[in-house]
Amino acid sequence: MKNATIVLELFVLLILSSSLIFFFGCASSPELKGTEGELWAGKLAGMIDADLKMYFSRFDEKEDHYEVKGSFNGEIGRVAGGYGSGTMRGTLSGEVKEGNVVVRIRGTATVNEGSASITGKLRGTLLDNQAAGTWDIDARSSEGSHYFSGQWHADKTDSAIQ
């Protein structure tokens, strides 16, 4: 009986420690994988207020052609249908050709009633050390869908990630 109690205590200790390691591993938010190049920082404004990070990597031998990767994280001020405020976070992937920015958005929106998958586009122009344009996002859940839109801007920072 004493051996069974010791084995049970060790099993519970193993499960508890594994759960804690898993929880803290998922709670961390490392930098976006595969991000190299020029760091641009800015904001999404409009129906959400979010911080924006984008990394512009120049394609080989093409002067005005960049790959874009990045992320955003921000607050939803108000959601139609009485769901209150919440948060939205996502990743960005796209390109800049001849000064035209076209980037896909994917991520998650979380409000009082639950979470939703988001997809959208960020469009705009790149001029020297500044970029700006508009964005739109569709958030879909089992409860329905919500449309968000607004403007964005970003400035080139002095940081180059390699």
The pLDDT-based confidence of 147 (bands split at 50, 70, 90) is: confident
- Write the pLDDT tens digit of every residue in 13-35: 556 555 545 544 444 333 455 55
pTM recorded for the entire structure: 0.72
The mean pLDDT value for 127-156 works out to: 91
* Beta partners for residue 148, in sequence order: 137
Nearest CA to 125 among 103, 105, 143?
103
Question: Could you identify the residue written with the tokens 């992320």?
Answer: 71
Q: Where are the domains of the chain?
A: 1-29, 37-156
CB 108 within 8 A of CB 90: yes
Question: Domain 37-156 carries which CATH code?
Answer: 2.40.128
**CA 158 to CA 162: how far, in whole Å?**
13
**CA 78 to CA 146: how far, in whole Å?**
11
- Write the pLDDT tens digit of every residue in 55-82: 998 876 667 788 999 999 999 876 555 5
The pLDDT-based confidence of 85 (bands split at 50, 70, 90) is: confident
**Coil vs helix vs strand at 118:** strand
* Beta partners for residue 100, in sequence order: 97, 125
**DSSP code for 59:** P
